[in-house]
Each structure stands twice: as structure tokens, then as C-alpha cells.
A and B are shown apart, each in its own frame.
Chain A
Amino acid sequence: MNLPGTGIIKGMVETARNFVGSYHDPERLTTIEYPEERLTQPENARSFPMLIFDDDPVKGLRCVACKICEKECPPQCIYIVQDRDERGKPRKFPRIFDLDISVCMSCQICVEVCPFDSIKMNTEFELSTDDRFGRLLLHRDDLAKSNEYYHQIHATEAAEVDARLADEKAKAEAKAKPAAAKPASPVPTAAKAAAPAQPAAPVKSPAADKPAAKPASPAEPAAA
């Protein structure tokens, strides 16, 4: 028979067990005491974008100021000015690359559209500041992060990207060797050519004898 009121007593016993248990059994405490303890972030964690450089923080930037990310960014938080040399000729380098992380919504679209694997998501989250306009508007040099750092935070993804880039580089070199006379076709054109039908790619560039070379790039020009 279920005596009325026993439910309350059962509940009280349960909470008492929690109370006592939390003192002698630290396993029960689920709280991570944040500044001292930290959860290891999952590999797919992301906060805001960053720019990858290879060797030198300025010269080694992979970004070529193509402005695809600027155009694709839904909240329009990226501002890019292309660099120009003394004669006013555009260089493939961003003179200004600003990213307002108070506007950014971490959607990762910029990462998906970047054809050069230049912009990637950072995982740093301790960004709070008392200076809304100064410290929340990140400039090129704040955004520049080394490839090693990228490997640290997103190991698998970075390895994939590196393999792909090495692949592309090898392909470009292979293409440049037999057709040394004419300048190497830029990557986007090759990609565009690969976009409609991949088996058709060798027709246009006979040197590229590895059809399944570009796993990611077909989608990118289409998106652009």
C-alpha cells in the first residue's frame, strides 16, 4: 500500500543522499571551476575567424584579398582593402583586413567559401574587454595566426588542409614543368574548369593527369 506522504520522505532522503554524497564523493560534483579548471574543447569548437599564415605573419598570409568572404559574410562583419604597389597595381595581399567580432555570428560561411584555405575558425573564447570599439574590432595582424597554431586547435582539419595544399602545389608544379612556355593558369580557372564535370578536366589542361585532385575546390567557384 502506498501511504500518502511517503513520496515526500523518499524525495527528502534522495536530496539528503546528494548532500552527504557531494562531500565525500567528489565524483558527484559536476561543476568545472573555470579559471582554474578547464574543459578540453572539442576539436570542432569555433569562436571567430582567423587568418592563417605559413612562415611570416605578414608576407606568409595565405589571404590574397579576393574579397569573397567579405561578400559572402551574412552580417557583413569583414572589411578588406586590397594592397597596391607604388604604381597602383593591385597586389594579392590585404592591406586592411578588419573583422568586427561583435557583429560576427560565427557562421563559418567565410571559411567555407575561401578558395585559399586562408580564413579558418579560431577557438579562443576569452575575448571579453571593456573597450568595445578598440578590442572587438580585430585587425589583420590580430587575426594572423600561424599554421602551427591551426594544427594545435584543429588537428584533423589542418592535416587535411595541408595535404590538399601540398597536393595542389605538386599539381601546379607538374603543370608548370611541361607547359613552361605559357604562364601557369591560375588556380581559380583550373577549378572553374573542373567544376562542370571532373572527368572533363584533363581535356583543358592535359598536364593534370590526376583527375580526383581537388576534393574541395569544385564547390568554391560555384559558390562564388
Chain B
Amino acid sequence: MSTALDQLFVNLKHWVVSRFPADWQLPVGMLISAGAIIVVFASLFAITVLAERKGLGRIQNRPGPNRVGPFGLLQPLADFLKMLTKENIIPQAADGLIYFLAPTLVILPTLLSFSVLPMGRNMTAVDVDAGLLFFFAVGASVELAVFMAGWASRNKFALLGAMRAIAQMICYELPLILSTVAVVMVAGSLSLSGIVDHQAGYYGGWLARWHVFTPWGLAGFLLFMTAATAESNRAPFDLPEGESEIIAGHLIEYSGFKYALFFMGEYFGMMAVSGLGITLFLGGWRPPFAGLEWVPTYLWFFGKLGVCIAVFIWVRGTLPRLRADQLMNFAWKFMLPLTLINLLGAAAWHYTADWSFLGATPARWLLGATLLGAPYLALSRRLFGGHGIGPRTYRFAT
């Protein structure tokens, strides 16, 4: 029964595909997968936007949108209609073709990157051998799209925003990729379903063997999510779109549906990178405790995705935007060394796996914690040491 429910969508797809003649089966299957991804994530996007607006409101002690439909639940529909009916403005000096292509190019890679994520047992649209590499390869082209948007708008703020976005994305791509390298090292695979399989089983018969339940995995997960926040240009790393200084950066000249596409691309990016984090560190579609296997696997995946998105919203509601130099210092002087050290931590965990004396697990944890904690303290002291934190002094005002 539970397997039937678990494999419901897989079997449904197989059944539909088997109705078609043999030559058609491959393209039809692909179309079904692509359509399912687009529909599921587009509706998830609508829900996320609503949840973000409501959640941010509540965090700021406001009710949030509550006018359209019961409790404001139809707000995404209203937003959608508004975006569709807005005037599509193309600046006179804009570079027409590139200006037109940029929003498409923002959304395309993120949609592509969903295709390699295992969203449930047997629910990977394209199970490539080098899935992780594919994910980062398509993700890398977002930078080019952002540059195209900023440059084609012929607006100095747009160009400034694009430059900021590119600088930030390049800087944070390094820690992002390096934090996943630890997983690749331990799992011995670049295939995302292989990595999920590596997290099968339970510690002590109850706690899942997710990577996040190891010292290096915990540190790696936090580093990964921090870098992912910066990579998807979300607060507190949203300075490419800083409203106060460069008025939404590369989005400044976009309106109507093109703007909606950028907006959607940003949220898709956030979901994709959260999905990757889930796959790499949170056991993908696997349940956290033994005895919960009866819950369909896709529910685990999307449940974890929801939690990740909620944390993203929570962080956005909490932290103020960084300054550009703080952003760069944080990337190069804190994130990058820590991710490199985390590789060492992963290796230490990997090679102490055969320790079997009494109290081996606490000893391994202690080892990992010292390996990662000491550099953490030292680096953060260096980063913030002496200046930065403390009561603010003003030179001229009293």
C-alpha cells in the first residue's frame, strides 16, 4: 500500500507513456517530467511568495496581505494578473534582443537544474552520472543572464547592480562548490541519487545517516546554505538589488512579465539550491527517523524544501543587508577557508570510521568539533576582531 502511494506518480507516468508507440515513449516521458516540474515549482513559487509576504509581515508584527480571498490566499493570483497586465516597457536605448533574452536565460537554467534533483524514490527527471556538476554548470549561466540584463538596460544603476551581482555570485560560488566537495569526497559519487543512496540506513537503528548528522556535514550544511543565500541574491546578501542605493539593480528597467520572470527565477534559484542542499546533506527524500518509511518519499522531499524556504524567509526577516566590503571579506576570509578546512574535517570523519573502542563516536565528534570550531573562532575573530562590533560611535552627531 505505502509503496503504491509512494510510487503513484512514477507509475502514473509509466502508464501514460506506455499508451504511446515505442518511438514516442522517450520524448513523451521527457515532456511529462518537464511539465510536472514546471507546474509543481510554479505553484510552489506562488505559495512561497504568499508565505514570504505573510511571514515577513508577521515577523514585523503586521498582518501581511489579507484582502484578496480568504486570509489573502488569492494574493498570488492577483499578483500574477497585475504582472501580466502591466505595460511592457523597453527603454529606447536598450539593446533589444539581449534585453529580451535575459529574463528567459535567468529562468531556464534554474528550471534545468530541477531536472537532476531526486524528488522521491525513482523520481529524478534526468539521472545523470555527473548530476552535481550539471547543477553547477547550468547555475553558472545565471551570472551571464544577470550581466545581460544589466548591460542591455543601458542604465548605470542596472550595470552597477549587474556588476555587484556577478562579483557576488563568483565569490560565493567557490564556497558553495567547495562545501559540496566534502560530500562528493565522502559519498564517492557526483550522481545526486548516488549521494542520496549513500545516506541510507540509520545510526543506532533510529537516526538517519544523513550527512548533516556528522560534524563536517553540519558545518558543510551551514556553509552551503550561507553561500546559497548569497548565490540566490537573497537577504542579507541582496545588495545587487539594494533598493536604497541602486534601486533594484539589474531589474530597474524591467516591468510587467519580464520582471515577473526575474522574480520567478530568483525564487526558483532559491528552491533549486535548497533542493540541492537537501539532497546533499539532509538525506534527500529519506525520512529522518526509522519507522517513518510509510510516508511517501516525495512528501519528505517537499516537506524539507518547505522548511528550508521557511528558514530563508526567517533569515530575510531578521538580518540587515551587508555592505559590499563586508560581503567580500566574508566570502574570502571566512567562508572559503572554512570550506577548505571542512574538507579536512570530512576526511578525518571518513578515516576514523573504523574506530570501534568505547566512546568512539563522542571522540570522533570531539575531533570534528575541534577541527572545525577552532578555525571558526579564529577566523571570525580575525574578521570582526577589534572593529565592527560594539557600541557605535558618531563623529559629528551626539
B377/A19 in contact, CB under 8 A: no
**Chain A residues positioned under 8 Å from B380 (CB to CB):** 4-5
Closest to B385 in A: A4
Please tell me if the beta carbons of A12 and B315 are within 8 angstroms of each other in the complex: yes
Once bound together, how far apart are the Cα atoms of A33 and B67, in whole Å?
10
**Residue in A3, A14, A29, A31 whose CB lies within 8 Å of B318:** A14
Q: Which residues of B contact A (CB under 8 A)?
A: 55, 58-63, 66, 314-315, 317-319, 376-377, 380-381, 384, 389
**Total A-B pairs in contact (CB under 8 Å)?**
46
Residues of B within 8 A of A4 (CB): 376-377, 380-381, 384
| CB nearest neighbor in B for A20 | B58
Binary contact readout A10-48 vs B (1 if CB under 8 angstroms, 0 otherwise):
011011101101110000111101000000000000000
Given contacts A8-B319, A12-B318, A33-B66, 5 further A-B pairs with CB under 8 A are A15-B317, A16-B314, A18-B59, A18-B60, A30-B62
A23-B61 Cα distance, complex, nearest whole Å? 9
Given contacts A4-B376, A8-B319, contact A18 B58 (CB under 8 A): yes
With beta carbons under 8 angstroms apart, the residue of B55, B63, B317, B377 that contacts A29 is: B63
Chain A residues contacting B58 (CB-CB under 8 Å) are: 18-19, 22-23
Cβ contact within 8 Å between A29 and B314: no
Q: Is the Cβ of B384 less than 8 Å from the Cβ of A15?
A: no
Contact B61 A18 (CB under 8 A): yes
Residue of A nearest to B320 (CB): A11
A120 and B317 alpha carbons, distance in the complex (Å)? 46
Known: A4-B377, A4-B380, A5-B380. A30 touches B314 (CB 8 A): no
Interchain nearest-CB distance for B230 vs A (Å): 15
Q: How many residues of A contact B (CB 8 A)?
A: 20
Chain B residues with CB below 8 A from A23, complex form: 58
Residues in chain A within 8 A of chain B (CB atoms): 3-5, 7-8, 11-12, 14-16, 18-19, 21-23, 28-31, 33
Cα A112 to Cα B338 with chains together (Å) = 70
Asked if residues B318 and A15 are in contact (CB atoms below 8 Å), the reply is yes
Known: A4-B376, A19-B58, A30-B61. A12 touches B314 (CB 8 A): yes
Cβ contacts A to B, 26 pairs, < 8 Å: A4-B380, A4-B384, A8-B319, A11-B318, A12-B315, A12-B318, A14-B318, A15-B314, A15-B317, A16-B314, A18-B58, A18-B59, A18-B60, A19-B55, A19-B314, A19-B317, A21-B61, A22-B58, A22-B62, A22-B63, A23-B58, A29-B61, A29-B63, A30-B61, A31-B62, A31-B63
How far, in angstroms, from A31 to B317 measured CA to CA in the complex?
Answer: 18
B62 touches A29 (CB 8 A): yes
Once the chains are docked, how many angstroms separate the CA of A30 from the CA of B317?
A: 17
Q: For residue A12, which residues in chain B have a CB less than 8 angstroms away from its CB?
A: 314-315, 318
CB proximity of B51 to chain A, nearest CB, Å? 12
Bound-state CA distance A31–B314 (Å) is 21
- Contact A15 B59, CB 8 Å, known A4-B381, A4-B384, A5-B380: yes
Roughly how many angstroms separate A194 CA and B324 CA in the complex, as a whole number? Answer: 68
Instruction: Determine the distance from Cα of A4 to Cα of B384 in the docked complex, in whole angstroms.
Output: 9
Report the separation of the CA atoms of residues A11 and B319 in the bound assembly, to the nearest whole angstrom: 7
B314 to chain A, nearest CB (A): 6
How far apart sit A14 and B60, CA to CA, in the bound complex (Å)?
10
* Complex alpha-carbon distance, A18 and B315, angstroms: 13
Q: Which of A3, A15, A22, A29 has the most chain B CB atoms closer than 10 A to its own CB?
A: A15
A116, chain B: closest CB distance, angstroms: 46
Also in contact, A19 and B59, with CB within 8 A (given A8-B319, A11-B319):
yes
Compute how far the CA of A153 lies from the CA of B60 in the bound complex, rounded to whole angstroms: 34
Nearest CB in chain A to that of B316: its residue: A15
Cβ contacts under 8 Å, A3 to chain B: 377
Chain B neighbourhood of A16, CB < 8 A = 314
> In whole angstroms, what is the CA distance A14 to B317 when docked?
10
Q: Which residues of A contact B376 (CB under 8 A)?
A: 4
Give the complex CA separation of A30 and B63 in angstroms. Answer: 9
Q: In the complex, which residue of chain B has the Cβ closest to the Cβ of A5?
A: B380
CB distance from B113 to the nearest CB of A (A): 28
B275 shortest CB reach to chain A, Å: 23
B319 contact set on A, CB distance < 8 A:
8, 11
